[in-house]
Amino acid sequence: MAKYNTAIDKKWQQKWEETKLYKFDENNLDKKLYVLEMFSYPSGSQLHAGHWFNYGPVDSWARMKKMQGYNVFQPMGFDAFGLPAENYAIKTGVHPSDSTMQNIKTMEEQLKAMGAMFNWENEVVTCAPDYYKWTQWLFLKLYEKGLAYRKKAPVNWCPSCNTVLANEQVLDGSCERCSTEVTKKDLTQWFLKITDYADELLEKLDILDWPEKTKSMQKHWIGKSTGAEVTFKVKDSDLSFSVFTTRVDTLYGVSYVVLAPENPLVDQLTVENNKSAVEAYKEESKKQTEIERQSITREKTGVFTGSYAINPINGREVPIWIGDYVLATYGTGAVMAVPAHDERDFAFATKYNLPIERVIEGGESLPYTEYGTMVNSEEFNGLSSEEGKKAVVKKLEAMNLGSEKVNYRLRDWLISRQRYWGAPIPIIYCDHCGTVPVPEEQLPVELPYNVEFAPDGKSPLAKCEEFLHTTCPKCGGPAHREVDTLDTFVCSSWYYLRYADANNSEKAFDTDMINKMLPVDKYVGGPEHACMHLLYARFITKALRDMGYLNFDEPFLSLTHQGLILGPDGQKMSKSKGNTIAPDEYIAEHGSDVFRMYLMFGFAYTEGGAWSDEGIKSVARFVERIERILDSSREAIESGNNNKDTMDKAEKELNYWRHFAIKNVTTDAEILQFNTAIARLMEFNNALSKYITEPEKNLTFLKDTLSDFIKLLAPFAPHFAEEQWNLLHPNTSEDNSYSVFSTAWPTFIPEALIKDEIEIAIQINGKIKARINISSDLDEEGIKAAALNSEEIKVATEGKNIVKVIVIKGRLVNIVIK
Ligand code: ANZ
Ligand code: ZN
């Protein structure tokens, strides 16, 4: 009998492809299930353990769903534009297009060797003109709608990548890609108006089946803050400015106001005598990053402008300062300072000897930052902070000097990049007509191949004369093209839409088609995209909905983040540490199913963990053991010897483990809890191995049971199970009925679990190692046996000496080992 190996992998991969086993049925959309894994970035040419951990287990889930009758759509493609290919090109001289296409070819082969049910007919490659044509179309639609605009603004600049970055790409003040400290530059750049959708992006989080942590990260990133804007007039001047405050109930306690050093009013407000100090301070604050400026522990500094403002509630004059703890980019770039009730203002006032006046009663010491009761606030005295906020705003409104205001931390998405390897922004500048969008029929604006792309801070496309010079689509006069390229996150903000209609040459996608195929039912990928890709995609979906191109609100209803597979040393895998695992070698040795099963059994899916060679070997042994047991079961069936047709104790016991496995594998795999699902399969296998030692067997029952076992195994070890299925059920018909994946997923019969179940904990040396369900009327010996048959316990006691097994009926079993 052929032992499971890579030849079996190849054999079935070929057959599956020939018979189009997992072709998506476009005529059966009622049962469609759109399963999506984040597409890969073809930077290194190798599929690594992380890709595998994302794609392998999710494919297993999709296979179970197929057997459950779903019409599964599981596309794959490549997020192919971006910096790594360009940086690699700068290092080696290989053109980004050449290296990217080469990497894609290799990765496609590796992905095929995984044996996943990918719908390759719908492959998407974002750097291909027939894809980015539509990315450019998307940009033009957003532009038409006023959701794409160009403005001069202080933007994040990475001096090492030589390009601007979106706020989302700045992590703790450093470039997300290269960790270089990010600086600010005033540049004219393209933005997408994601802020128009801030409220909906926040509200709709509630309906999403997403990890709580990811939702809360988006929530925080959007940063909705409800407060008021209050207008302060400048004394002896026509000037005025507004502050944003969440504590308008403290308005009587304002003892000064602070403007951000960049606030455009600063120059006008600064009196002659203070000019040099203010200028020096402004210069100094340019050197601070926003993170530094927001630090709570950093000393608060500032300078007095020499001007005064009028507190609108009581007409009191307060000095106007500038200070870098006020950010120009948040609220109005100005704050009213209430030292008695705000930490930063308290520190500032203490340092510069400004008055500190309590206006909220509640706690003894100052600053008191909680809500309380208003005092020293004239007619508002005695009101609670909540009531006071409303009352004060009402009064300000009547005076036309304030109103309620909602602020967001979210900023518009900066999408232009001064780099080569991206989709050109389809805009033309004409001296007569100004900014002119490229007409749709002229798309794509192709990225030229021969370009000097070494980064020097300017857009490489500016140096490409054939690209730069063009004619104005409006007046036909000489004009030049936009030379920046799009952030690659624009490419990936809509790829899941294109997948569903990937071969459409007329449109980005057909609306009817998309409305039937989406939203994505299950999305799985890394958590690092929480505030980038996952936010951008939601925004683009909503924008396209509002333009009438689709009719759903959210792209991804259910989201899971897989964990991280670490190197054997428990560290993040990296080439420099030399702790990477090359899947291909393990697959050559053990077959891809063993690799996949190890990833699923060895780790909790959402947690991941450290790679272990021992771990994969033990899974290989498990697969060998299954193969032996399946082979001998099949031989027993084929021989027809010692057959009986009754269901006796041994049959009932095996039937119990069979249905126990059906029930639990189904529910555990459903929630991507593969490790426990496989543990149940192992137990089922143990029960099977026990049964085949029976002198007389019910062979019909055995064949049914065996069939169920292979079906349950099939999603997790697809090639191996297909082989086993075909050995047990030889089938030469021309259609797809040969395949175990064309059969129905088994359903469990509650009666088979005859006895009522209870859950008991199993301890080893006093520590809980597993929980199992057992029938409540098992006697002590039965409980012991069940505990020792649990796979977790088998693993934990392997090679150990079991000294004692203590059974506390109905509660737990404690196993003492040495
Ligand atoms: C007066 C006040 C009194 C404040 C008090 C707080 C406590 P969130 O929740 O993040 O929205 N603020 C407003 N704009 C700012 C800016 N551009 N840079 C730095 N700080 C700014 O925070 C809103 C609060 O942060 C506002 O409420 C303002 O200080 C400050 F007892 O106004 B508060
Ligand atoms: Zn023109």
> Tens digit of pLDDT for each residue in 443-487?
999 999 998 887 777 889 999 999 999 999 999 999 999 999 999
- Phi and psi at residue 64, to the nearest 5°: -60, -45
Q: Give me the residue label for tokens 């804007």.
A: 229
CA of 335 to the centre of ligand 1 (A): 6
- pLDDT of 419 > 90? The answer is no
Which residue has a Cα nearest atom 27 of ligand 1? 245
Where residue 548 falls among pLDDT bands split at 50, 70, 90? very high
CA of 174 to the centre of ligand 1 (A): 25
Quick one: which atom of ligand 1 is closest to the CA of 407?
A: 11
Residue pair 493/469 in contact (Cβ under 8 Å)? The answer is no
Element (H, E) at 278: helix 275-286
Ligand 1 pocket member 246 (CB < 6 A): yes
Q: How far apart are CA 601 and CA 611, in angstroms?
A: 12
In angstroms, the Cα distances linking 152 to 263, 361, 414, 457, 763 are 15, 45, 11, 17, 65
Residue pair 488/537 in contact (Cβ under 8 Å)? The answer is no
Q: How far apart are CA 669 and CA 677, in angstroms?
A: 6
CA of 481 to the centre of ligand 2 (A): 12
Task: Give mean pLDDT, residues 776-783.
Answer: 83
Closest Cα partner for 428 from 384, 385, 382, 477? 477
CA of 153 to the centre of ligand 1 (A): 23
Three-state DSSP state, 253: helix
**What DSSP state is assigned to residue 689?**
H
Ligand 1 pocket member 407 (CB < 6 A): yes
**Closest ligand to 247 CA?**
1
Q: How far apart are CA 779 and CA 421, in angstroms?
A: 69
Which residue has a Cα nearest atom 7 of ligand 1? 342
Which residue has a Cα nearest atom 14 of ligand 1? 331
- Phi and psi at residue 272, to the nearest 5°: -45, -50
- pLDDT of 199 > 60? The answer is yes
Ligand 1 pocket member 375 (CB < 6 A): no
Residue pair 195/408 in contact (Cβ under 8 Å)? The answer is yes
Within a 13 Å sphere around the CA of 527, how many CA atoms are in the beta-carbon half?
18
The predicted structure's pLDDT at residue 90? 79
Specify which residues 486 forms β-bridges with. Answer: 416
Three-state DSSP state, 752: helix
Task: Give mean pLDDT, residues 341-362.
Answer: 96
Ligand 1 pocket member 323 (CB < 6 A): no
Three-state DSSP state, 523: strand
Ligand 1 pocket member 6 (CB < 6 A): no
Task: Give mean pLDDT, residues 514-531.
Answer: 93
Ligand 1 pocket member 329 (CB < 6 A): no
- Phi and psi at residue 303, to the nearest 5°: -140, 150
Dihedral angle, C-alpha 519, 523, 528, 533, nearest 10 °: -20
Q: Tell me the angle at which helices 96-114 and 6-18 cross, rounded to the nearest 10 degrees.
A: 100
- Phi and psi at residue 146, to the nearest 5°: 80, 15
The predicted structure's pLDDT at residue 2? 55
Q: How far apart are CA 664 and CA 566, in angstroms?
A: 28
Which residue has a Cα nearest atom 33 of ligand 1? 245
Quick one: which atom of ligand 1 is closest to the CA of 337?
A: 1
Q: Of 224, 231, 232, 245, which is best to mutate to test ligand 1, by the most ligand atoms within 8 angstroms of its C-beta?
A: 245
Q: How far apart are CA 807 and CA 811, in angstroms?
A: 8
Closest Cα partner for 708 from 746, 657, 671, 764? 746
Closest Cα partner for 714 from 112, 113, 61, 50? 61
- Edge to edge, the sheet with strand 478-481 lists 434-437, 427-430, 478-481, 469-471
Contacts of 681 (CB under 8 A, 6+ apart): 661, 665, 709, 712, 713, 716
Q: How far apart are CA 287 and CA 282, in angstroms?
A: 9
Q: Tell me the angle at which helices 718-728 and 6-18 cross, rounded to the nearest 10 degrees.
A: 80
Quick one: which atom of ligand 1 is closest to the CA of 333?
A: 17
Contacts of 679 (CB under 8 A, 6+ apart): 601, 790, 791, 792
Q: Which residues surround ligand 2, an ion (CB under 5 A)?
A: 430, 432-433, 472, 474-475, 477
**Mean pLDDT across the chain, nearest whole number?**
93
Q: How far apart are CA 41 and CA 103, in angstroms?
A: 9
Ligand 1 pocket member 250 (CB < 6 A): yes
**Residue 21, Cβ neighbours under 10 Å: how many?**
17
Q: How far apart are CA 3 and CA 25, in angstroms?
A: 34
Which amino acid makes up residue 644?
A: K
The predicted structure's pLDDT at residue 458? 82
- Phi and psi at residue 690, to the nearest 5°: -70, -45
Which amino acid makes up residue 389?
A: K
Its pTM stands at: 0.85
In angstroms, the Cα distances linking 697 to 632, 645, 725 are 13, 8, 21
Which residue has a Cα nearest atom 18 of ligand 1? 326
pLDDT 10s digits, 33-63:
999 999 988 877 678 888 899 999 999 999 9
CA of 450 to the centre of ligand 2 (A): 27
Q: Of 335, 348, 393, 409, which is best to mutate to test ligand 1, by the most ligand atoms within 8 angstroms of its C-beta?
A: 335
**Closest ligand to 477 CA?**
2
Buried b (16+ CB within 10 A) or exposed e, 34-68: bbbbbbbbbbeeebbbbbbbbbbbbbbbbbbbbbe
The predicted structure's pLDDT at residue 576? 78
Which amino acid makes up residue 443?
A: L
Question: Would you report the helix, strand and coil content of the chain in percent, each value rounded to 5?
Answer: 45, 20, 35
Closest Cα partner for 257 from 183, 312, 193, 199? 312
CA of 330 to the centre of ligand 1 (A): 9
CA of 149 to the centre of ligand 2 (A): 19
Token representation of residue 29: 């959309």
pLDDT 10s digits, 385-399:
999 999 999 999 999
Ligand 1 pocket member 245 (CB < 6 A): yes
| Least confident among 228-242, 252-266, 772-786 | 772-786
Q: How far apart are CA 500 and CA 509, in angstroms?
A: 8
Token representation of residue 694: 């029976």
Which residue has a Cα nearest atom 8 of ligand 1? 225
CA of 212 to the centre of ligand 1 (A): 27
pLDDT 10s digits, 695-742:
999 999 999 999 999 999 999 999 999 999 999 999 878 888 999 999
Ligand 1 pocket member 368 (CB < 6 A): no
Which residue has a Cα nearest atom 29 of ligand 1? 245
Task: Give mean pLDDT, residues 810-816.
Answer: 87
Residue pair 348/354 in contact (Cβ under 8 Å)? The answer is yes
∠555-556-557 over CA atoms, to 5°? 120
pLDDT 10s digits, 619-676:
999 999 999 999 999 999 999 999 999 998 899 999 999 999 999 999 999 999 999 9
The predicted structure's pLDDT at residue 1? 45
The number of residues making up the chain comes to 818
Long-range contacts of 570-577 (CB under 8 A, 24+ apart): 570/610, 573/48, 573/49, 573/50, 573/611
CA of 470 to the centre of ligand 2 (A): 11
The predicted structure's pLDDT at residue 169? 79
Ligand 1 pocket member 331 (CB < 6 A): yes
Ligand 1 pocket member 405 (CB < 6 A): no
The DSSP annotation for 190-240 comes to EEE-GGGGHHHHHHGGGG-B--HHHHHHHHHHH--EEEEEEEEEETTSS-E
Which residue has a Cα nearest atom 32 of ligand 1? 245
Ligand 1 pocket member 342 (CB < 6 A): yes
Calculate the CA 349 to chain-centre distance.
43
**What DSSP state is assigned to residue 300?**
P
Ligand 1 pocket member 330 (CB < 6 A): yes
In angstroms, the Cα distances linking 392 to 154, 355, 367 are 35, 22, 21
Contacts of 614 (CB under 8 A, 6+ apart): none
CA of 269 to the centre of ligand 1 (A): 22
What are the helix (H) ranges across 117-165? 129-144
- Phi and psi at residue 459, to the nearest 5°: -70, 125
Quick one: which atom of ligand 1 is closest to the CA of 360?
A: 31
Task: Give mean pLDDT, residues 119-147.
Answer: 97
What are the helix (H) ranges across 547-673? 583-590, 592-602, 613-639, 649-670
Which amino acid makes up residue 507?
A: K
Q: How far apart are CA 92 and CA 97, in angstroms?
A: 13
Ligand 1 pocket member 666 (CB < 6 A): no
Which residue has a Cα nearest atom 2 of ligand 1? 247
Domains defined for the chain, CATH in brackets: 225-407 (3.90.740.10), 755-817 (3.10.20.590)
**Closest ligand to 480 CA?**
2
Ligand 1 pocket member 754 (CB < 6 A): no
225-234 and 77-78 strand pairing: unpaired
Q: Tell me the angle at which helices 699-713 and 674-691 cross, rounded to the nearest 10 degrees.
A: 160
pLDDT 10s digits, 245-284:
999 999 999 999 999 999 999 999 999 999 999 999 999 8
Ligand 1 pocket member 686 (CB < 6 A): no
